[in-house]
Amino acid sequence: MLQEAYEDAGNDRLLQADIIRALGETRSATGVTALGRSYRDHGNDREMRHVVVGAMGRSTRPEAVGLLKRVFAESWNDPAMRLACVRALGETRNKEAVPALMEAYAGAWNDPSLKREIVAALAKAHTPSSPIP
């Protein structure tokens, strides 16, 4: 239903953004797939891509962690998107985000603000079954 509504939204960016957020709230594998497609569809539209990344974080799905990790890696020249990915990884509260966040921390040697965000995200993603090394 939401995917159909998204396709019918046309150029209504506010409606698209609301539907993207709702897709994240569904916490379903099909919702994450739709979010990945939406991220690609928005090409160079940074604002909508940020909305999609935030929705991925709300999904809590392992598939979302994989997508966020890939977006983070592709965004090496976009500090704002890297921060958004780190925050979203923490918001997943998924133990599978911990290795991705640790890898991001290791690569953030020259960015103290990114390191702080990664530490905050690790605190959210950490669970007793996923100890932080």
Domain definitions of the chain by residue range: 2-125
pLDDT at residue 133, rounded to an integer: 52
pLDDT at residue 127, rounded to an integer: 60
pTM of the model: 0.86
Express each pLDDT in 36-93 by its tens digit.
999 998 888 999 999 999 999 998 889 999 999 999 999 988 999 999 999 999 999 9
- CA-CA distance, 114 to 35, in Å (whole number)? 24
**Alpha carbon of 67 to those of 78, 92, 118: distances in Å?**
16, 12, 17
**CATH classification code of 2-125:** 1.25.10.10
The single residue listed with the structure tokens 């994450």 is 32
Tally of helices (H runs) and strands (E runs) in the chain: 8, 0
What's CA 75's distance to the chain center, in Å? 12
pLDDT at residue 128, rounded to an integer: 52
